[in-house]
Amino acid sequence: MLRRLELDRFLEQTLANGREEIPWSAMAMILILGRLCEPSSELHLAERLYEASAMSDLLGVPEEKVNQDRLYRALDTLLPHEPSRQQGGVGVTTEPNPSRSLIERSFTLFAMWNTW
């Protein structure tokens, strides 16, 4: 579903790669898939959900490379790209806005879920 929405491509283009071993776009996909599969903490995702799911096979990120610190750093990397921040708003809006792209609406939904 996320690939059909081209969210993987959007994240690859939006999140700059540095010297990190695992691209931020892959870590963002792990966060998003984790929220869709079983909304819980980053700690639960890193210690239980990721290894119990097929995410490692789907995304190509080995289980030992997914940890709580890396997930929190991925959230820090995503934060500046939150649509409501780019538009000068404060926080995340829950009102539907049909003028936003599907990617922006999906990202807003992820940001709302991330307050878990």
DSSP code per residue over 6-63: THHHHHHHHS---S-SS-HHHHHHHHHHHHHH----HHHIIIIIHHHSSHHHHH---G
**Which DSSP category does 98 fall into?**
T
Whether pLDDT at 50 is above 50: yes
> How far apart are the C-alpha atoms of 105 and 57, rounded to whole Å?
27
Q: Would you place residue 91 in the very low, low, confident or very high pLDDT band (cuts 50, 70, 90)?
A: very low
Amino acid identity, residue 99? S
The whole-number average pLDDT for the span 67-82 is 88
Q: Would you place residue 93 in the very low, low, confident or very high pLDDT band (cuts 50, 70, 90)?
A: very low
Which H helix or E strand runs over 111? helix 102-113
Whether pLDDT at 42 is above 80: yes
> Which whole-number Å values give the CA distances from 67 to 19, 88, 116, in the listed order?
18, 32, 18
* Region of residue 51 (phi > 0: left; psi between -120 and 50: alpha; otherwise: beta): alpha
